[in-house]
Amino acid sequence: MVSNFTARKSTRQVRFTTTGVSRGMLRLMPVAIFVIPFGIGFGAAAVQTGVSTTQASVMSGLVVAGASQFAVLDLWQSPLPLFSLAIVALAVNARHIIMGAALSGWINQLPPCQMVLALVTLSDANFADTQASLRSGDPEIGYLMGGGLMLWLAWTTGTILGATIGSLAGNLDQWGVDVVMVAFFAAVVCGDLRQGARILPVTIAVAITLLKVDLLPTGWNIIAAAVTGGMVGAIRHGR
């Protein structure tokens, strides 16, 4: 339904230009500045968890998914629970399915190579910026890639700084780094609670996380909470 609606709204032929990419980078530069501190927090928290500076930097450079990267740190142990890591990342980033569907009427007009370039750095900020432009009649897809590149640069730079500082500073608990992940997700959840319809799914997910923490293998309480909370939200939305 989302893609069909979007396709009807997309009556102009889209374009993907280097000028659009450059403008997209400039448009999201103010947002990217505020991404750097989050990257620093992730880098420092990752090192504190046992991830090396190189591993943290490469992870941010390749994954570029702040929320899921924070989430997997809680599962980081030896040997790595790869399946659990993948499920958590999928659950946290499932919203990209909706964002892709919302952009499909425009994105599907591009050749496959350009489509991949446009979507590879898709995130909440460049999605919102580009979709607003497309809906207003500006058919430039380059904004999506440009904005994503700017956010990628800020996130990766912040991670490298945080990981480097963390590796040199030794025990970071004295600076409160051990609560970075908790504070990050608390801020995200509190933002969602401004919409009353999300209170029940979030409450149920939190309850399951706490109740199952000693009953399930490491990290699976988070997966169970994410799946159950999502199902409850879907049922309520369907009504």
Side-chain half-sphere CA neighbours of 101 within 13 A: 10
Q: What is the pLDDT of residues 113-145, one digit of tens each?
A: 999 999 998 988 899 889 889 988 999 999 999
d(CA 233, CA 39): 30
Domain edges within the chain: 2-175, 193-239
Q: Which residues contact 89 (CB under 8 A, 6 or more apart)?
A: 63, 65, 68, 71, 72
Q: Could you tell me the CA-to-CA distances from 72 to 103, 116, 190 in Å, in that order?
A: 28, 25, 21
d(CA 169, CA 10): 52
> What is the model's pTM?
0.71
Q: What is the pLDDT of residues 18-64, one digit of tens each?
A: 999 999 999 999 888 888 888 888 898 888 888 889 999 999 999 88
Which is more confidently placed, 132 or 214? 132
pLDDT of 67 reads 79
